């Protein structure tokens, strides 16, 4: 696949570097979660080196997801800027009550007298053989909660910059979805409208949407919306379709799932008229459903064919590779959906 000349660092290093820089510069920033202390540095090593440099501000916790998410919320309400690390994103649902009945509500319910500037980092996703309870993408279950922001970097974003924006510039609580496979990947950043050989543009929002194309945005056949770990698969599918079918697929990668900026999706649809949305979690009441619903309501006349969604099949995620592959959305599924209709 085409890589960026500006590709400098992996997603993991980007996130780890951002946390080091923030904790160095700002005493309010602290990290809280399970097994964070060096030399272990967290289950995925994103926290490495932090506890040695900032022993007072890295709190390694008991196995109490609801408890430490709530503790961090209380600290946020009293002037700190806590970052919570959930060991596996699946465990975020243990703190569902904290998100639903506490954290997302406090600002509005208390008549704008408080803020909860809290960031909850949650490693999501499969393809590492961790099985049904350590591989899910559960973010769809927290979409639609008023007051909560949901951010998901991909290889088309600067993950560290997004994390910094979430911690320092966003007064709302943020769930920050990190795809586990992505940690080892290099970030690709757009320079002068290009990422390597590809044409690229990004919105100027706090959490930008990046769109890439194999043509200079003068024509397109398909708008393929993807976030997080699915962006890599989308890029691979788009490259295949360009060289094998001469189809121009614009990959639209939002970094904010909530609120969702529909403008770049509608803009791409003006050129393509065909929408495919993908996600690694299951389809029902998910991100794709939301995108298709909003496009239908706000840009129906742009659609020349029925929108499609690509998602996991309705099973738990299997432990064994062969079954896992059958359940998860693959590049071939994206290629097929982009070709059809």
Partner 1 sequence: MSQPVERGDIANPRARFERDGRPLRTKLFEQMMLIRRFEERLLELFGEGELFGTTHCYIGQEADAVGVINHLQDGDIIFSNHRCHGHFLVYGDRPELLMAELMGRVTGVVGGRGGSQHICFENFYTNGIQGGFMPTVTGMALAEKMKGSGNIAVAFIGDGTLGQGVLYEALNMASLWSVPLLVVVENNRWAQSTPVERELAGDMVARGRAFGIDAGEIDSTDAEELFGHFGDIIAKVRNEQRPHFEVIHTYRLCHHSKSDDMRPEEEIERFRKDEPLIGARAWLDEDEARAIEARIEARVEAAVRWSREQPFPTPRHLDERVARPAPMAFEASASDAGEGA
Nearer to partner 1, 62 or 192 (CB): 62
Nearer to partner 1, 56 or 314 (CB): 56
Report how far Cα 3 is from the mean position of its chain's Cα atoms: 20
Name every residue whose Cβ is closer than 8 Å to that of residue 75 and which is 6 or more positions away in sequence.
30, 32, 82
* Rounded Cα distance, 161 and 11, in Å: 11
Nearer to partner 1, 62 or 216 (CB): 62
Binding mask 9-38 for partner 1 (x = CB under 8 A): ---------------------x--------
Q: Which stretch binds partner 1 (CB under 8 A): 67-75, 155-163, 239-247, 325-333?
A: 67-75
Report how far Cα 318 is from the mean position of its chain's Cα atoms: 22
* Rounded Cα distance, 50 and 100, in Å: 30
Nearer to partner 1, 146 or 192 (CB): 146
CB of 63 to partner 1, least distance (A): 9
Name every residue whose Cβ is closer than 8 Å to that of residue 184 and which is 6 or more positions away in sequence.
10, 11, 12
Half-sphere exposure of 226 toward its Cβ, with a 13 Å CA cutoff?
Answer: 33
Q: Which stretch binds partner 1 (CB under 8 A): 54-62, 172-180, 236-244, 278-286?
A: 54-62
Kindly state the tokens that stand for 84. 């919570």
Q: Specify the residue for token string 């044409």.
A: 199
Q: What is the CA radius of gyration of the chain?
A: 20
Residue 71 interacts with partner 1 (CB under 8 A)? yes
Among 78, 246, 314, 322, binds partner 1 (CB under 8 A): 78
Name every residue whose Cβ is closer than 8 Å to that of residue 323 and which is 6 or more positions away in sequence.
none
CB of 187 to partner 1, least distance (A): 33
Within 226-255, the residues that bind partner 1 by CB under 8 A are none
Nearer to partner 1, 39 or 146 (CB): 146
Q: Which candidate, 248, 250, 167, places its Cα nearest to that of 210?
A: 250
CB of 103 to partner 1, least distance (A): 8
CB of 65 to partner 1, least distance (A): 8
Within 86-125, the residues that bind partner 1 by CB under 8 A are 97-98, 101-102, 105-106, 108-114
Quick one: the chain helix, strand, coil %, rounded to 5?
A: 40, 20, 40
Nearer to partner 1, 129 or 144 (CB): 144
Give the bridge partners for 120, in sequence order. 84, 175
Which residues here bind partner 1, judged by CB under 8 A? Answer: 30, 56, 59, 61-62, 64, 66-80, 82, 97-98, 101-102, 105-106, 108-114
């Amino acid at each position: 696949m085409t890589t960026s000349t500006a590709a400098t660092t992996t997603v993991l290093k980007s996130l780890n570097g951002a946390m080091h820089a923030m904790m160095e510069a700002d005493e309010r920033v602290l990290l809280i979660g399970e097994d964070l202390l060096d030399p272990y540095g967290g289950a995925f090593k994103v926290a490495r080196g932090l506890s040695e440099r900032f022993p007072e501000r890295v709190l390694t916790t008991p196995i109490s997801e609801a408890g430490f998410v709530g503790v961090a919320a209380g600290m946020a309400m009293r002037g700190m800027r806590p970052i919570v690390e959930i060991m596996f994103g699946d465990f975020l649902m243990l703190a569902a009550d904290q998100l639903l009945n506490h954290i997302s509500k406090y600002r509005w319910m208390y008549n704008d007298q408080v803020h909860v500037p809290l960031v909850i980092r949650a490693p999501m996703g499969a393809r590492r053989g961790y099985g049904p309870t350590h591989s899910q993408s559960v973010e769809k279950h927290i979409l639609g909660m008023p007051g909560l922001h949901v951010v998901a970097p991909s290889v088309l974003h600067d993950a560290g910059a997004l994390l910094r924006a979430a911690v320092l510039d966003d007064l709302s609580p943020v769930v920050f979805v990190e795809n586990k496979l992505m940690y080892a990947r290099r970030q690709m950043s757009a320079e002068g409208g290009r990422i390597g050989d590809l044409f690229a543009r990004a919105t100027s929002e706090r959490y930008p949407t990046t769109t890439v194309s194999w043509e200079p945005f003068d024509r397109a056949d398909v708008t393929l919306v993807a976030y997080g770990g699915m962006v890599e698969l989308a890029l691979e599918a788009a490259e295949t379709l360009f060289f094998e079918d001469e189809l121009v697929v614009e990959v639209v990668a939002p970094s904010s799932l909530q609120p969702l900026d529909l403008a770049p999706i509608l803009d791409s649809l003006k050129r393509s008229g065909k929408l495919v949305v993908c996600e690694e979690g299951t389809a029902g009441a998910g991100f794709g459903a939301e995108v298709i619903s909003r496009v239908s309501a706000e840009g129906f006349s742009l659609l020349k064919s029925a929108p499609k969604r690509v998602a996991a099949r309705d099973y738990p995620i299997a432990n064994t590779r062969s079954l896992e592959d059958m359940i998860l959305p693959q590049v071939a599924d994206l290629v097929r959906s982009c070709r059809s209709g």
